[in-house]
Amino acid sequence: LQTEQSLYHALERQELQLYYQPVMHLNTGGLAGFEALLRWQHPVSGLLSPDQFIPVAEESGLIEPIGTWVLEQALQQIQIWQQMTQRPLFMAVNVSPRQFVHADFGAIVQQALQRYQLSGESLEIEITESILQDFQRSKRIVETLRTLGCTVAIDDFGTGYSSVSLLRHLPVSRIKIDRSFVSALPGRAQDTGLVSAMLGMAHSLGLEVTAEGIETAEQAAILAGMANMAAQGYYFERPQPAEFFTVGWLSRH
Ligand code: G
Ligand code: G
Ligand code: MN
Ligand code: NA
């Protein structure tokens, strides 16, 4: 794990970078949007993934300026890609609990949308069940985000003990089925059964679904046969820097 001081400098020295992973419409193969994934280009250790520094950012409070930077950067990028493609692509942004329950989170989102002249539908906020620690406040923030037109997704759905409880109490719009369920496909009847139960639940509640971690054509075909959904995974594309999509990729999709 990295230290607080070096992370402080990372922000200052512009060592943080966003990678993007496309989110596809599984049944049509068309592009739906992107998820922004944070990286730290560390001068000594090389490219670091969020697991190596988000915990320090959370503990130190640096997650607030870092999270605001991520939001601004991601929205600036989706504005560029929307203009390039003339399509209503969305950007999904991961938000840590400490960032989410910050008193100004709604205002920070609103300002960022205004700055890049984007409607709320351009932004999806991904939360995990760890926000349940501050449930009342989280509920108000989810409501504020929905008022702004943003979608709110439950990330890593199915991995926590309370994922289902979250659906019961929060007006979220989407679940992202955790990749551990997708990587089990094709598997035993139980593995397929779990995924179809999650799809059934989403359907009953009027929620949209993204399946994460699709790595093979077979997994894509199995899921496409089950329901309409959005999909992400190495099978479609790995997370890549913005230039990768701007130069070439977007004109082919
Ligand atoms: O991209 P990768 O698979 O290494 O991401 C690892 C984890 O880091 C995932 O759980 C992802 O949700 C989280 N993550 C990625 N980018 C961000 C970010 O900008 N903010 C926060 N809080 N978490 C992120
Ligand atoms: O927790 P969250 O869903 O935000 O994490 C997304 C992480 O999953 C990113 O770090 C991304 O690099 C990783 N990821 C995306 N697609 C795949 C995939 O198909 N297989 C695997 N193993 N990881 C993936
Ligand atoms: Mn995510
Ligand atoms: Na996830």
Question: Nearest-CA neighbor of 213 among 1, 74, 35?
Answer: 35
CA of 232 to the centre of ligand 2 (A): 8
Q: What is the number of other CB atoms lying within 10 angstroms of the CB of residue 150?
A: 24
> How high does pLDDT run on average in the chain?
94
158, with CB counted inside 10 A (0-12, 13-18, 19+), is middle
The protein residue whose alpha carbon is closest to atom 23 in ligand 2 is 213
| Domain span holding position 65 | 4-168+237-252
CA of 181 to the centre of ligand 3 (A): 15
Domain assignment present for 215: no
Domain assignment present for 198: no
Domain assignment present for 201: no
Domain assignment present for 47: yes
CA of 140 to the centre of ligand 3 (A): 21
Work out the angle at residue 45's Cα, subtended by the Cα atoms of residues 42 and 48, and round it to the nearest 5 degrees. Answer: 60
Domain assignment present for 136: yes
**Range of lowest pLDDT (124-133, 135-144, 161-170):** 161-170
The protein residue whose alpha carbon is closest to atom 20 in ligand 2 is 213
Domain assignment present for 88: yes
CA distances from 88 to 50, 111, 147, 244 (A): 28, 20, 19, 20
Number of domains present in the structure of the chain:
1
- Residue 141: which residues within 8 A CB-CB, separation 6 or more? 100, 101, 105, 106
Nearest atom within ligand 1 for CA of residue 95: 22
Name the pTM for this structure.
0.97
The protein residue whose alpha carbon is closest to atom 15 in ligand 1 is 37
- What is the complex's ipTM, to 2 decimals? 0.97
As a whole number of angstroms, the distance between CA 101 and CA 252 comes to 39
Does the beta carbon of 243 sit less than 6 angstroms from any atom of ligand 1? no
User: Average pLDDT for residues 139-159, to the nearest whole number?
Assistant: 96
Domain assignment present for 31: yes
DSSP state of 112: H
Q: What is the enclosing helix (H) or strand (E) of 97?
A: helix 97-100
Question: Residue 27: which CATH number?
Answer: 3.20.20.450
Domain assignment present for 195: no
Q: What is the pLDDT of residues 52-96, one digit of tens each?
A: 999 999 999 999 999 999 999 999 999 999 999 999 999 999 999
State the SS3 of 158-220: CCCCCHHHHHHHCCCCEEEECHHHHHCCCCCHHHHHHHHHHHHHHHHCCCEEEECCCCCHHHH
